[in-house]
Amino acid sequence: MIKTTLSSSPLESKTRFRVQLKHAVAIGPGKADVLQAIAETGSIAESGRCLGMSYQRVWSLVRAMNNDFIEPLVLTQRGGNAGGGAQLTATGMKVLNVYTSIALEAERAVAKRLPELMELIRPDAGVKDPE
């Protein structure tokens, strides 16, 4: 089973795309951001700081991705004299590139058709009545 979620906000001009496969294996903007940050910084801790996530949250996402895919997406090295670090594997880079391509294609499709849908929605839809 493949489940995709696409949320789009015309107010923010932002589309977020998430792919869920099988039971809970998913790749979405949060995990993709973690992969991108690790590729750029080479560090779990620095990735967390850049993304405003705790070190523990980044580690949790990395562990989940490493367990869910056929090969680990991120390799880590503990600190010490040589220092620690993290890097994407070839599979990690491929997952990031495929997800990014899917998300960009989805964003283009939404941008093309969203105005047509917006014309059909009442301007006050979703606004709660003041009590």
The model's confidence at residue 4, banded by pLDDT at 50, 70 and 90, is low
Q: Please compute the mean of the pLDDT values over residues 32-42 and round it to a whole number.
A: 96
CATH ID of 2-115, from 3.40.50.150, 2.60.370.10, 1.10.1060.10, 1.10.10.10: 1.10.10.10
Distances (CA, A) of 108 to 9, 54, 91, 115, 117: 14, 32, 26, 12, 15
Reported as a single tens digit per residue, the pLDDT across 40-53 is 999 999 999 999 99
Return the pLDDT at 131: 60
Among 110, 91, 96, CA closest to 27: 96
More confident: 13 or 26: 26
pLDDT tens string 45-89: 999 999 999 999 999 999 999 999 999 999 998 765 556 799 999
